[in-house]
Structure 1
């Protein structure tokens, strides 16, 4: 499947590589500041990390959960409406029981409308971590979350999902031109290498831009990056907090898909496992 090219030549994206703490009030202040920075840069979209509402590197759980009508998502919607900047950000929602939470990403359009909620499918039970001790997975058969911003369609993954190429392909099948990956990518041996390599691979194999935005701080790698659909890294941060802005060229994306029609040559589909 090869979605039609976007209608606007370029979409401006701001990547907010924030340090996130257990202090929800402080985090909202940092997010509001990032929204102001994105607006000053005339960005169309701000992407924030996984767990942007509240985080503990030892493990985030239900103590950080709040509803979609809570202060964090309310702030995103209010600031998007005020600035005209759409936003994609990680948060935590209440689970089915008080002992569980849901790792989620919300997509808010430039008018402040909540247009999508992605509940993380692949929980990070790897490299010595166990998200499933505190979190419940989202349904694998849920409709992909794809938000259109100025003619470019952004599909949502989260952190550990980056290791599963079928997750990215499913979002592209739903029409995404770009993959957005909010993350709190855990630090460790070879982890920064994996993060970068996987982001580039997902871009190349899907002929899609990748906007991979990580947290900075203790226990996480940072190193947010913007990858073009041909695999070229156009923007990359280090492990320190930072906010950077770049354009995604819709015409260049369409040209890559024309030269490399791999999506049209596919012989297999992607379906959730039972």
Structure 2
């Protein structure tokens, strides 16, 4: 028989988008995590590709990509040791010359695992390699899995997490869209995610960016 915590406090962080500045975005993770720790938050979700920004230029993405077994990521983990909450944040990962749209799970400076986006948008397919697995993780007795942004358009992505006994689905997202598309999708995002919850029986927490740039806007949703 499965047992679940009586209550657990989780948080979705909706920061201003910053492209190509991992140092600035690391500082944002630390700032918001410190605030969350003061409120007893056990888990914090940040947006898709948040560490380097959602960059879909092939050359720039490769320049910004980070290896999870490399020194740069080890240095990042060392900065996160003092954070008590489990952190989930997106980044551009490189492994054996392939790039992945990845969300990492970090607890007190230790990498617990990672999820690679399985369903890629047309503009991502020439840059990223799709993931093939749906790992789950546990915090304070609560099992959770991850879908990244566009993944939530596909029911099998959520049900693959639910089938492993998870109760919560985290959705790092980046919906910095052209204004017309942002208006069109403003309500659709939540409707689609609500449908995934009904199908899978999972709770869902999303985290998106906010702000405007060059004819684009992000309304969330977080």
Q: Please classify the TM superposition score into its range, dividing by the shorter chain length.
A: 0.7 to 0.9
Show structure 1 runs of 5+ residues with no match.
Answer: 226-274
Matched, 1:117 2:114: yes
Give the structure-1-normalised TM-score: 0.70
Matched, 1:29 2:24: no
Task: Report SS of the residue matched to 2:49.
Answer: coil
Task: Report SS of the residue matched to 1:11.
Answer: coil
**Once the two structures are superposed, what CA deviation does each residue of 1:169-217 show, in whole Å capped at 9, x if it has no partner?**
0011012100000011243142122211112111222221100111112
Contact 2:56–2:127 (8 Å) recurs in 1: no
State how 1:103-252 maps to structure 2 within 5 Å. 103-109=101-107, 111-125=108-122, 130-138=123-131, 140=132, 142=133, 144-187=134-177, 188=181, 189-218=183-212, 219=216, 221-225=218-222
Give the structure-2-normalised TM-score: 0.86
Counterparts in 2 of 1:93 and 1:48: CA distance versus 1, 3 Å: same
Show structure 2 runs of 5+ residues with no match.
Answer: none
Residue 82 of structure 1 is matched in structure 2 by: 82
Contact 2:55–2:61 (8 Å) recurs in 1: no
Contact 1:148–1:154 (8 Å) recurs in 2: yes
Number of residue pairs aligned between Structure 1 and Structure 2: 211
CA RMSD of aligned residues (A): 2.1
